Structure 1
């Protein structure tokens, strides 16, 4: 009787060993999000209600002469989505590094996903450990 093939298993272990910490963190974030019942950004389709969690990777600051909006990119380990709150100049606690959940309708704008005026919950502020 021959030993079972170990090629794919060995290859997966080598990939995990060589993965960057960002890749490992992204994989862990996706697994945690799915377990908690959240959708993944990579799976978001056009005009579909979604419940996402991730951290704010960047924030766009518009000039005062522009229409008031708060615009952030939320990353969940599988991709990013631009979240835009129209009619707001700022939202306390919304800043790069903040971990939050958002619920709303996602759409595609060009080749990028967007969500307008979602409900949100701040899970951890920038620099805080998440429990």
Structure 2
């Protein structure tokens, strides 16, 4: 009987809680379970490994010259991924989950960024 009550409680929570908050919790939990660092805890100059979902992908983005720029969100903070000299990267699209590795820098506006990160598409 306790499992049925637990199921109903979880179902009610999923139906009534803010979907964005649920996504944030799921993403941050997923990142933690892979041993990746949380974006909010990382600082400029660190070599980092992060896991997150691409919120948006832009090609030839303003301020990026000729390149691809994508916003990676891990449930705690966003990091811009910037691939310089690329017109497009096959397989890189919004909604995709990536594991990235590189040195954390900043954009002109102070936002966190990783230039030319190594990446793996997660299933």
The two structures have a TM-score, normalised by structure 2, of 0.77
Number of positions where the alignment pairs a residue of Structure 1 with one of Structure 2: 107
The answer to whether residue 28 in structure 2 is matched with residue 30 in structure 1 is yes
Q: 2:54 aligns with which of 44, 53, 56?
A: 56
Q: Name the structure 1 match of 2:19.
A: 21
Structure 1 residue 19: Cα displacement: 4.2
Q: Name the structure 1 match of 2:117.
A: 118
Q: 2:85 aligns with which of 79, 84, 87?
A: 87
The two structures have a TM-score, normalised by structure 1, of 0.73
- For residues 7-62 of structure 1, what are the alpha-carbon distances to aligned partners after superposition, in whole Å with 9 as ceiling and x for unaligned? xxxxxxxxx78741211221121122112100111111111011011111011232
Larger Rg, first or second structure (1 or 2):
1
Give the unaligned 5+ runs of structure 1: 1-15, 125-131
C-alpha RMSD over aligned residues: 2.0
Give the unaligned 5+ runs of structure 2: 1-12
1:90 is paired with a residue of what secondary structure? coil
1:101 is paired with a residue of what secondary structure? strand
CA distance in 2: counterparts of 1:82 and 1:24, whole angstroms: 22
Q: Name the structure 1 match of 2:40.
A: 42
CA distance in 1: counterparts of 2:85 and 2:60, whole angstroms: 12
Deviant stretches of 4+, over 4 Å: 16-19
